[in-house]
Amino acid sequence: MNLEKVIFAFFSILALTLNYGFFIGDIDDPTHHNVYELFAALIVSLIATIMKFGDRAHIGALLLATSLVADLQLIAAALVWGYVVYVAQSPLEPSVMASIVSLSGGALLANLTSVILLVVETVTFRR
Amino acid sequence: MHNVISLLLRRMRLPLIVLISTYAIAVVGLTLIPGVDDQGNPWRMDFFHAIYFVSFLGSTIGFGEIPYPFTGAQRMWTTFTIYAAVVSWLYAIGTILTIIQDPGFRRVLAFSSFVRRVHRLQEPFYVVCGYGDASRSLVRELSERAIRCVVVEQDQGKIQDLAVEDLPDYVPGLNEDATDSDSLIAAGLKLPSCRGIIALTGDDASNLTIAITSKLLAPDLPVVCQSDSKDSAANMASFGTNHIIDPFEIFATRFAMMFHSPSMYLVYEWMTAVHGAPLSEFKRPPTGIWVLCSFGRFGKAVREHMSVEGVKTRLIEADTDATGAPLDTIEGRGTEADTLLDADIQDAVGVIAGTDNDANNLSILITARYLNPKLFTVARQNQQKKDPIFEAADIDLIMQPGKIVAQYILGLILAPLLSDFFRLARNQTDEWANVLVSRIAGVVADVTPDTWELKISPQQSPAVYDSLDRKQNVLLRDICADPANRSQMLPCVPLLIKRHGVGMLLPEMEEGLQSGDHILFCGRQESSNQIRSIVNDQQALNYIQTGIDRPSGTIWRWLTD
């Protein structure tokens, strides 16, 4: 068992599960989507990205790319949230919540791809 | 070699994760700890303000407690956060500094920036391996003529010399072993704009490796090698090295030439002289008995060529067994008067100091001259930086291997026809050389002549090519005349026309040109520009041929006709 691989897989999958946890629920209901979950998903996704830095294999490059997509989507979701609440100072309308959650839905897809790639790599790994 | 960015990112993984985790924990902590607002109501910091607060706190800017004064719990948490953030930043910055100062990383960085610079060279360039005396003068001469080159040298000190050298063009240098195929590829061995590999590492085995490597990786690329022994020269020739240069052999040939044909010697000397150097004074060496100190590679070559000329030499050699010196050799270094007296220095006409130690060579010459002031002195100068001492010693002929190699290669690069010229000239008589020398001297006045080539082709000489295409005759005289005054000839001498692979030595001015001709000229540098303007300008060519300055515009032509 390779500890590095365990940690790597742990963060990739944690990013996916946290992302899913935030995404699940009625798309426009603010009570179904916890801000802490979004924050946790973003941080774990960032850490997962950094762990993929410097891997020069082809699959490593793909993993890094999907991770960067997830980061971008989650940061966009957080920015929309922050802008509406603290800059525009308006309450969380269902339409705003829907766009935040759909952005995180995009990140969910990217994270899912990332985990699928990880599984593919593991399956093709022979030694 | 590794990619610099990925190397940096891989080593930055842990510090970045530490940094992000610290920030995340600090932010979450701030949002969880209860506080009070200005009215005293319970209040919790939101994510937006927490991130804002931690951001300026982490970078130790510190705007104060916002938006409301903190409670004790919040202050305690903030204290913890300050230390954690500072430590994580120190760790991250420290890691970056460590990586940048790491010799391995710097090497990768230098390597990849060298590769980038070589790839960015748009013009044709040469790869020079090794940066010794020969390479140094070669690189200088090339860059003064706006010919690009790159240098690969193993010795860090020499690469630093290159970096501080005041050259007109930027010459990228790589501090790697040139015998390593990776370094040669990095230097652009496989790039289409690479024109040739020049191996001057000062070590025959390395030069050999470089030649083999480049012949295998880029078979069509010309390779020029220095070789100090016949063995490795034969080895290099066996796999198609294009030019093998043995400075001792070149010097010995020319030195021998001084005895039987001084003019021929001058032709060789002038054609391969430094850009704009004064015409060398010539002192003919006397015939008689010579004393030759050292029987190494230099001594052997000189003795062999002198004996062909019928000049007798007396040898002095310190290590007679190792060098295989003949039996009548006097054992000793030649730096002491006794050995020189043993060699009958007093009735010799000249002395050649040819050891590989410059101080010994000078000592030999000074002692010998003390014993016999009329001696003709020849010295081998191994290191270029000893120039001032050798100049001060007032020596009749100085042999510098580095200079000979550099000049020879420069000739090959600037005028490849020069080697054809030399080959044909070797069979000519002394009278022929006398005539040529006086012709050249009349043309160039007081500096050494420049040599250049011209090809009759649509690219290099469109005007001549078009005229020939229209079945009009163009004579050699036509392109050598002064475009301002057709009765005057430009200060140049056409040395050779190469037509269908056959060389024509000193062509007549009435010679008709043909397309595809390769012409070698020598003369003053400005005439090269004027010839270039004639062969490019139909009007100038017409004027020289007919004496009529025809207008080029349609209306003027209609008016004058």
Radius of gyration of chain B, Cα coordinates, nearest whole angstrom: 35
Min Cα distance B12 → chain A (Å) is 9
**Which of A46, A58, A85 is most worth mutating to test chain B (most B CB atoms within 10 A of its CB)?**
A46
Encoded amino acid at B495, one letter: L
Contact A51 B12 (CB under 8 A): no
Question: Where does the pLDDT of residue A127 fall: very low under 50, low under 70, confident under 90, or very high at 90 and above?
Answer: low
pLDDT digits (tens, 9 = 90+) for B165-213: 888 888 999 998 988 889 999 999 889 999 999 999 988 889 999 999 9
* pLDDT recorded at residue B561: 64
pTM of the model: 0.74
Secondary structure of B24-80 in HEC code, one letter for each residue: HHHHHHHHHCEEECCCCCEEECCHHHHHHHHHHHHCCCCCCCCCCCCCHHHHHHHHH
* pLDDT recorded at residue A67: 93
Do B4-101 and B122-245 fold alike per CATH?
no
Q: Which residues contact B505 (CB under 8 A, 6 or more apart)?
A: B421, B424, B425, B428, B495, B496
Parts of chain B with a pLDDT under 70 = 1-2, 274-276, 280-281, 550-552, 561
Answer yes or no: is pLDDT of A55 > 90: no
* pLDDT recorded at residue A80: 93
Angle among Cα B555, B556, B561 to the nearest 5 degrees reads 100
Locate B102 and state its tokens: 């790491």
C-alpha distance from residue B529 to each of B274, B335, B483, B523 (Å): 19, 51, 11, 11
pLDDT digits (tens, 9 = 90+) for A15-53: 999 999 999 999 988 889 999 999 999 999 999 999 888
Domain residue spans of chain A: 3-124
Domain B258-414 top-level CATH class? alpha beta
C-alpha distance from residue A125 to each of A6, A37, A59, A118 (Å): 15, 33, 12, 10
With beta carbons under 8 A apart, name residues in chain A contacting B6: 53-56
Collapsed DSSP state (helix, strand, coil) of residue B456: coil
Answer yes or no: is pLDDT of A74 > 70: yes
The alpha carbon torsion through A127, B5, B11, B16 (nearest 10 deg) reads -110
* pLDDT recorded at residue A78: 94
Could you tell me if B254 and B399 are in contact, meaning their C-beta atoms sit under 8 angstroms apart? no
**CB nearest A56 (choices: B6, B11, B46):** B6
* pLDDT recorded at residue A84: 92
* pLDDT recorded at residue B411: 82
Query: Given CB atoms, is B7 within the 8 Å cutoff of chain A?
Result: yes
Tally C-beta pairs within 8 A across A and B.
Answer: 46
With beta carbons under 8 A apart, name residues in chain B contacting A47: 17, 20-21
Asked: is B4-101 a CATH 2.40.30.260 domain? The reply is no
pLDDT digits (tens, 9 = 90+) for A79-105: 999 999 988 888 888 999 999 999 999
pLDDT digits (tens, 9 = 90+) for A114-125: 999 988 888 887
The residues facing B331 across adjacent strands are B317
Q: What is the CATH number of domain B122-245?
A: 3.40.50.720
**CB nearest A47 (choices: B3, B17, B31):** B17
Residue A112: DSSP 8-state: H
* pLDDT recorded at residue B15: 94
Q: Identify how many contiguous H helices and E strands chain A contains and give both numbers.
A: 4, 0
Domain residue spans of chain B: 4-101, 122-245, 258-414, 449-558
Contact B21 A47 (CB under 8 A): yes
Interface predicted TM-score (ipTM): 0.88
With beta carbons under 8 A apart, name residues in chain A contacting B88: none
Contact A50 B10 (CB under 8 A): no
Fold of B449-558: Alpha-Beta Plaits (3.30.70)
Could you tell me if B534 and B471 are in contact, meaning their C-beta atoms sit under 8 angstroms apart? no
Could you tell me if A109 and A117 are in contact, meaning their C-beta atoms sit under 8 angstroms apart? no
